[in-house]
Amino acid sequence: MFARPLAFSLALAAPALISAAEPAPAAGELAQVQQHLTAVSSMTAGFAQTDRNGRTLTGTMTLKRPGKIRFQYQKGVPQLIVADGRSLYFIDYQVRQVERWPIGNSPLAVLLNPKKDITKFAKVVPTGSPQLVSVEVHDSDHPEYGRITLIFQKNAGAPGGLMLQGWVALDSQNNRTTIRLSNQQFNANISDGAFRWNDPRRQGPR
């Protein structure tokens, strides 16, 4: 049996990099993160996902804003996570089950919604490196949505001067998932067909 992954056990911030004793970072870093997110229309990357038990799975991530994302797992993992612009789906082909959530109910909404103003519900978390920016996103009105901590590396060649390195997601049951990204590519043309999926409950794609 495979554990439920990523967005549904949802939170790359290495705990060793976070120190509450450090002075608060400049407020401008939060605005820079918002600028980065606004400048990204699409993104592809490899990912390594580590769950709370230390098990790691790999795969590829494809993102297209607004509202579309796909986590294609390594060969042999019969699961898929995909958002089609309206809903976020967790598909388990082994047991032929599909779970659906509104996109807005997931911490991943911060990556999917280009109109979302994160400055209203996000805070910059101090890190031990001037080259890293860590932002925790949490909606206090909806704790059931969990929280996500995004980690960026400063990179003048990336959109908004930041390169998304990954995130740590924490769901309402305190299940922690760490995502580390590699080979990030931004703003290429991606077909909407990349976010179609085969429904195991019936024949044919969605």
Residues 133 and 153: their CA atoms lie apart, in Å, by 6
For 196, the token pair is 């179609």
The pair of structure tokens assigned to 83 is 């958002």
1 pLDDT above the threshold of 70: no
Strand order in the sheet with 162-170: 97-102, 87-92, 79-84, 68-73, 56-64, 42-50, 176-186, 162-170, 147-154, 132-138, 122-125
Q: Please check the confidence at residue 39 and state whether its pLDDT lies above 80.
A: yes
Between CA 117 and CA 35 the distance in angstroms is: 10
Average pLDDT over residues 36-44: 95
Q: Residue 134 pairs with which residues in a beta bridge?
A: 125, 151
Compute the distance between CA of residue 12 and CA of residue 22 in angstroms, rounded to an integer. 19
Tell whether the model's pLDDT for residue 98 goes beyond 60: yes
pLDDT at 101: 86
Report whether 200 contacts 96 (CB < 8 A). Answer: yes
Query: Comparing 141 with 168, which gets the higher pLDDT?
Result: 168
Would you say the pTM of this structure is higher than 0.85? Answer: no
Q: How confident is the model at residue 9 (pLDDT cuts 50, 70, 90)?
A: very low
Highest mean pLDDT among 49-53, 137-141, 152-156, 200-204: 152-156
| 92 beta partners | 79, 97
Distances (CA, A) of 139 to 24, 105, 109, 136: 21, 10, 11, 10
Give the residue with greater pLDDT, 165 vs 206. 165
Residue 123 has pLDDT above 70, yes or no: yes
Radius of gyration of the chain (CA): 16
Predicted confidence band at 203 (pLDDT cuts at 50, 70, 90)? low
Confidence of residue 22 (pLDDT cuts 50, 70, 90): very low
Distances (CA, A) of 59 to 44, 73, 120, 179, 202: 11, 4, 32, 11, 25
pLDDT of the residue at 26: 47
Answer yes or no: is pLDDT of 84 > 70: yes
In this model, does residue 64 exceed pLDDT 80?
yes
